[in-house]
Structure 1
Amino acid sequence: MKNIKQFYSLIVLFSLFTLSCRQITKSVDETFHPNDSLAKKYNKENHFGTNGEYTGTTKTSTTTSVQRRQEKTIVINGDTIKTPEMELKAKEMFHDIELLKQKNDPSAANEIQKRVKEFLKEMKMPQGGLKNIDTEKSVVKAKKGILSAAALEKAEDQLKKLPQYQSKEILLYQSIHFYEDGSINLMLQHPVNPKYIDAYEYRDGAWSAPKPVLATDIERRTFPLSGMHFADAHRLLQLYNAKAAQVEGAKPTSDAYITIWDKGMRWAPRTINGTRERYDIQFNNNGTLKSFRQE
């Protein structure tokens, strides 16, 4: 029974919590009532029946000197658990999950998750698998890539419509960062007091409230928003990655940013590093390729 932890923690949890509510229904059925050869093979090797009952032979213990009976047990994390008790608890969990599935409600997914966690706690099984799954989801989400050209245009348009900048010129300060998770970070000169700078973040389709930041050389480090377009970041990344694909060992990128100095702007990244060669790459203000040469 040394694989019991993998069976419940990995197969059950991964199937239940990484799928949609409808997929959860299918996953529960396939996990606990397997009909494919792989699942049947696993159950046969680990002595599980089609309803989760344990069918193998385990160590025995006597109850009294008069009446002797066999009692199946397993040891999980140093705790001895009676398999009949586990079977009963598992069947109760299956029953509860079936009822939740019949609700046909998006909230059922969270209730199923809660119910399985209760089962794991009762059986003294580790619940760390949930954290790992959440982490995997975060990683996948972070790598979805920079916003599309249309989404970048929308973000720029929303920035221009901020109430505090109505009928005012928007001046970018120092830098703009376009990240692979779709967020944008930038700083703007204050709409009323030109000696102040505020930071803004664009995430999930909306701009944050302004946050004051310390700033120096404001006059030299500002550039008008009207002189560039956010959508150009998308074009730039396509060009950069196309060139990187031609260089041995070079890696593509999903981040782009702008630096501002002496009232001018420059796109980055500006280098492509391979295993044998290094290239300098420059872009025009509109994100088109300006130059590409080996260093």
Structure 2
Amino acid sequence: MMKRFLFACCLLLSCKQVVKTVEETFHPVAEPVKKPVDTPSSSSTSWSSDTSFSITIKTEAITQHIEKRKDSSFSVTIETDAVLPSTIQRRIDSTLSVTTKPRSSSSLGESHLLKAEKALRSLPQYAGKEIFIYSSVHFYGDGSIRTMLQHPENPEYIDNYVYQNGVWSAPRPEQVSIKDRIASRLVSLDKIHFSTAAKVASTYNEKAAGIEGAKPLTSVYISIWDNRVRWYPGTINGSREKWSIEFDVDGGLRRFERE
């Protein structure tokens, strides 16, 4: 009797398995769809806060560099106009090795000045001609530059030029008197390097930082007399002291003494 009961149970189980196999054949069950996994080559890391500050670091462009240099450390430097909130800074530090530094507010940088000088030399009216600067060149912290040039055709004429947003303006006539000694206030652009203004600004601010009450400069300029160049400012004013500072034509510190 027991053998018959066991035989019946086995037969029943076998039938159920056959039915299940047939049902799966004609009515297959869809397998769950796996969610795609983001790869480092197309990922980005974003942070934001309620103070309308946000920052996104795209990693697609640097993935190959990381793969090639797995044996070395990798870091990212972020230049920002604002101080990062502490909560965001902690989240950045926990994700990447990041150095944050404030972006310079001044455009008295060497690369900016080199670009401006190159653009000046490329003015079509001076193609194939030597450019002579008249009287002065002013370099401002907002990136603008003002200067006067001797007219390319008439040496008795002087034109004003302004550099803004990466472009030199059209010439604007400067009124000069017959009493002005134009020839004595001219210097060839070949003898002046705009990038020297960055060197002058850096040295000036370094000295000013050690004088109580002195403020960093916001502009640098050249004055031309007797065909010689002199860089300004020539003084550093503190709350308790006044210092005289002088540079040579290449921006080297020539003199620095208390008055």
- TM-score under structure 2 normalisation? 0.58
Name the CA shift for 1:27/1:200 in 2 (closer, same or farther; >3 Å).
Answer: same
Task: Report what 1:223 is aligned to.
Answer: 187
Instruction: Tell me if 1:210 matches 2:171.
Output: yes
Q: Over aligned residues, Cα RMSD in angstroms?
A: 2.3
- Partners of 1:173 and 1:238 lie apart in 2 by 25
Task: Identify which of 217, 223, 230 aligns with 1:259.
Answer: 223
Pick the aligned partner of 2:152 from 191, 194, 197. 191
| Distance in 1 separating the partners of 2:250 and 2:51 | 49
Q: Distance in 2 between matches of 1:269 and 1:233?
A: 11
State the AA in 2 paired with 1:226: D
Alignment of 1:68-147 (within 5 A): 144-147=105-108
Looking at structure 2, the residues matched to 287 and 147 of structure 1 have their Cα atoms a distance apart, in angstroms, of 14
Instruction: Check whether the contact 2:108–2:197 (CA below 8 A) recurs between aligned residues.
Output: no
Higher strand share: 2
Query: Which residue of 202, 205, 209 maps to 1:245?
Result: 209
Query: Shift of the alpha carbon at 1:144?
Result: 2.6
SS in 2 for 1:275: coil
Partner of 1:8: none
Asked if 2 retains the 8 angstrom alpha-carbon contact of 1:146 and 1:255, the reply is: no
| C-alpha separation in 2, matches of 1:260 and 1:146 | 23
**Secondary structure of 1:234's aligned partner:** helix
Q: What is the one-letter code of the residue matched to 1:229?
A: H
1:27, distance to aligned residue in structure 2 (A): 7.1
Residues 148-182 of structure 1 deviation map (CA, whole Å, 9 limit, x = unaligned):
20110011011001011111110000110001110
Structure 1: how far apart are the matches of 2:157 and 2:149? Answer: 9
Q: Distance in 2 between matches of 1:181 and 1:151?
A: 11
Q: Deviations over 1:252-271 (max 9, x none)?
A: 11210000010011000000
Structure 1 equivalent of residue 254 of structure 2: 290
Bigger proportion of residues as helix? 1
Number of positions where the alignment pairs a residue of Structure 1 with one of Structure 2 = 161
Q: Report sequence identity in percent.
A: 48
**In structure 2, what residue type is equivalent to 1:266?**
R
Q: What is the deviation of 1:195?
A: 0.2
Structure 1 residue identity aligned to 2:192: M
Aligned equivalents of 2:183 and 2:163: distance in 1? 24
List, as ranges, runs of 4+ consecutive aligned residues in structure 1 with deviation greater than 4 Å.
Answer: none
TM-score by length of 1: 0.52
Q: Which is greater in Rg?
A: 2
Q: What is residue 111 of structure 1 aligned with on the other side?
A: none
Distance in 2 of aligned mates of 1:210 and 1:271? 32
Name the aligned partner's letter for residue 230 of structure 1. Answer: F
Structure 1 gaps of 5+ residues are 1-22, 29-142
